[in-house]
Amino acid sequence: MNLKTIKHIAISSIYEAKGSRFSYIIFSFLFILSYVSILLGIMAVWEEKKVLTDFFLSITQVGVLFWSLIMLTTSISSDIETKRIYLILSRPVRKYEYLFGRFLGIIILSFLIIVFVTVIFFILLLIKRYKIEWDYINNLGFIFMKICVISSISLLFTVITTSVYTSFIISMMVWFVAHFVNELKFALSKTNGFIFMKYLLYLIPDFSLIDKKIGYIYMFVYFFIFTLISLILFKRKEIA
């Protein structure tokens, strides 16, 4: 694995994603919702800080999630459809280096967007003379880890299907189910049928464990496995 090649592809992916129209839409969306959160905070009066904190966490999670999934799936699918990938692979670049570079670029930029929104939130807190809580940083870590895991799942289905819509829809379904894995396991344990569904749930990350001591390790294992499978499959994939 050539780290220099991966770095160049990742940087190229960051610049392309940063300049895309969808990125401008997401940034506009984040700014508008940030303004809305300020208005809601003012109306909340005594609960202003809590409203601001909850709202900023929500818009960070939803905004970065949508951005990362759409940019990841469209960038790879676009390269394949426009045959641009042939130009990249005609150089001394292996398939898995290309894929990992693309993926790494999106993950890095997702992290930078989270940092950017967080800086805006902290400036707002300082203006209003509120104390910055460590729990907020901790929650951002959980959010970033969840986005990394779902992005790795999206990467896998992008490699398998090369369809933007299929990968996005499946990824969003997994995101939703991952928040209710425990409840679904409990419900299925009360039924005699659907045995295969009980085992299928073990393939889906359980986001309720992310705030436990093993949370980050647990999430990293899922992230590593899905990413590794994606790289192996893409290496063997015949690109039409």
In a domain? residue 78: yes
**46 pLDDT tier (thresholds 50, 70, 90):** low
Instruction: Let me know if residue 198 belongs to a domain.
Output: no
On whether residue 137 sits in a domain, the answer given is: yes
Q: What is the pLDDT of residue 10?
A: 85
Q: Look at residue 41 and tell me whether its pLDDT is greater than 60.
A: no
Residue 61, domain member (yes or no) = yes
Question: Residue 102 falls within a domain, yes or no?
Answer: yes
**Would 36 be classed as within a structural domain?**
yes
Q: What percent of the chain clears pLDDT 70, i.e. is strictly above it?
A: 81
Considering its fold, how many domains does the chain have in total?
Answer: 1
**Is residue 185 included in any domain, yes or no?**
no
- Range name among 73-77, 138-142, 192-196 with the lowest pLDDT average: 192-196
Which pLDDT score, from 0 to 100, does residue 149 have?
Answer: 93
Confidence of residue 42 (pLDDT cuts 50, 70, 90): low
Structural domain includes residue 201: no
Q: Could you give the angle at the alpha carbon of 210 between the alpha carbons of 208 and 213, nearest 5°?
A: 120
Which range of residues forms the domain containing residue 114?
3-147
